[in-house]
């Protein structure tokens, strides 16, 4: 497995109070990215400061929705440790979805290692208050620049995280 390159942010964001979190509105300081092409497979795993990335208007994902995502959480225990909840199940589900959409298999070992390193780097973003968690959104999409109807040949795999309160703050 290729080592994950880490570039730390030089401008850490201010963390909101737990009662102001909401769901998916605030993002941690870093994100994981990894590219795919047919010649190299999955390569260039890296953790970089959270921010926008540039895509061409002709990228396959915009026209044919060749994209998959998962959702999972990291929790802080009463002892202060951080726990991931069943990441093996998340990557298995993600790869099942990817197979249906012709997105290349994402190796479980890379996924788990990326999660561990990203969550460790942004450990201060994992809230400790009851009902809170660090929501983790892994996703992958076709990034080729083409309008023809066929599966992509280039992909970007990303993991972003968001300290979150309840999804339904006011109940259902």
pLDDT tens for residues 86-114?
Answer: 999 999 999 999 999 999 999 999 999 99
pTM of the predicted protein model: 0.93
Q: What is the mean pLDDT of residues 47-53?
A: 96
pLDDT score of 16: 81
Mean pLDDT of the chain: 91
Measured distance CA(157)–CA(88) in Å, rounded: 16
Q: Which of 14, 22, 32, 63 is nearest to 137 (CA)?
A: 32
pLDDT score of 132: 86
Q: How many other CB atoms sit within 10 Å of the CB of residue 93?
A: 15
Q: What top-level class would CATH report for the domain 5-164? A: alpha beta
């Amino acid at each position: 497995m290729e080592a994950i390159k880490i570039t730390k942010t030089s401008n850490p964001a201010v963390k909101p109070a737990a009662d102001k979190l909401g769901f998916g509105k605030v993002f941690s300081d870093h994100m994981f990215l990894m590219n795919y092409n047919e010649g190299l497979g999955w390569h260039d795993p890296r953790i970089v400061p959270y921010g926008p990335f540039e895509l061409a208007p002709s990228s396959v994902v915009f026209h044919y929705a060749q994209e998959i995502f998962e959702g999972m959480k990291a929790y802080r225990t009463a002892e202060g440790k951080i726990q991931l909840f069943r990441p093996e199940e998340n990557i298995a589900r993600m790869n099942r979805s990817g197979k249906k959409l012709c997105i290349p298999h994402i190796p479980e070992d890379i996924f788990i290692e990326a999660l561990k390193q990203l969550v460790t780097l942004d450990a201060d973003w994992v809230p400790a208050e009851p009902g809170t968690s660090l929501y983790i959104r892994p996703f992958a999409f076709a990034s080729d620049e083409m309008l023809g109807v066929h599966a992509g040949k280039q992909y970007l795999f990303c993991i972003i995280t968001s300290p979150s309160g309840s999804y339904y703050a006011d109940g259902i």
